[in-house]
């Protein structure tokens, strides 16, 4: 083999090895959600931190020692919601108990896809069904959020008067009353 080709091949292999071995140093932390990467390090962010196990007082203390405030426990997902300075997330991500850190995104319920989800247009157009004469059942799980940091289950006899299913039934009865008033 030509000595110049050997030398060129050696240089290319060394450069490739340096690039591949150096990539982890520039990689983003896989435990931090990508949409938190561009956030100003001095800003305060609302995050959900998921742990390997249901968080205990020790986990919360670890976050609070970095200036974080516990907003809500999320034991179902082995996590909790916190408000913390963005610059502290990298040190938290290094802890082996931390699985993932994501922004605490604002969510809201929407009813814009309900008809499509149950294929209602087929019932309306193909079969002429309108929903007239259909009864409505309200199933109340008993879950309430009387305590701001956790969901609790209370039997019906322990709920304050007016809370057990009635708040869900009122809109249906109001709709039905409007239909009757209009003659529908």
Q: Are residues 95 and 136 in the same domain?
A: no
pLDDT digits (tens, 9 = 90+) for 23-60: 444 447 899 999 898 899 999 999 999 999 999 999 99
Provide the number of structural domains found in the chain.
2
- Is residue 6 in some structural domain? no
The CATH number that applies at residue 44 is 3.30.70.80
pLDDT digits (tens, 9 = 90+) for 110-155: 667 777 788 888 888 888 887 777 776 666 665 555 555 444 444 4
- Is residue 56 in some structural domain? yes
Q: What is the span of the domain harbouring residue 154? A: 132-182
Ranges of beta strands (E only) in 68-174 are 69-74, 79-85, 98-103, 143-147, 150-153
Q: Are residues 137 and 93 in the same domain?
A: no
Q: Are residues 81 and 137 in the same domain?
A: no
Mean residue pLDDT of the chain comes to 77
pLDDT digits (tens, 9 = 90+) for 77-104: 999 999 999 999 999 999 999 999 999 9
Q: Are residues 95 and 137 in the same domain?
A: no
Asked whether the predicted pLDDT for residue 157 surpasses 50, the reply is no
Please report, for the chain, how many H helices and E strands are present, in that order.
Answer: 6, 6
């Amino acid at each position: 083999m030509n000595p110049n080709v050997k030398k060129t091949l050696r240089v290319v292999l060394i450069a490739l090895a340096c690039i591949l071995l150096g990539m982890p140093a520039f990689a983003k932390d896989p435990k931090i959600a990508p949409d938190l990467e561009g956030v100003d390090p001095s800003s305060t962010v609302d995050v959900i931190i998921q742990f390997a196990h249901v968080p205990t007082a020790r986990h919360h203390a670890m976050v609070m020692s970095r200036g974080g405030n516990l907003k809500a426990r999320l034991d179902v997902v082995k996590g909790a919601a916190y408000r913390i300075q963005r610059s502290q997330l990298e040190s938290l991500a290094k802890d082996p108990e931390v699985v993932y850190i994501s922004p605490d995104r604002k969510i809201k319920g929407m009813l814009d896809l309900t008809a499509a989800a149950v294929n209602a247009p087929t019932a309306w157009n193909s079969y002429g069904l309108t929903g007239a004469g259909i009864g409505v059942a309200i199933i109340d799980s008993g879950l309430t959020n009387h305590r701001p940091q956790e969901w609790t289950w209370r039997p019906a006899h322990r709920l304050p008067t007016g809370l057990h299913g009635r708040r869900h039934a009122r809109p249906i009865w109001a709709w039905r009353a409007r239909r009757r008033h209009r003659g529908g």
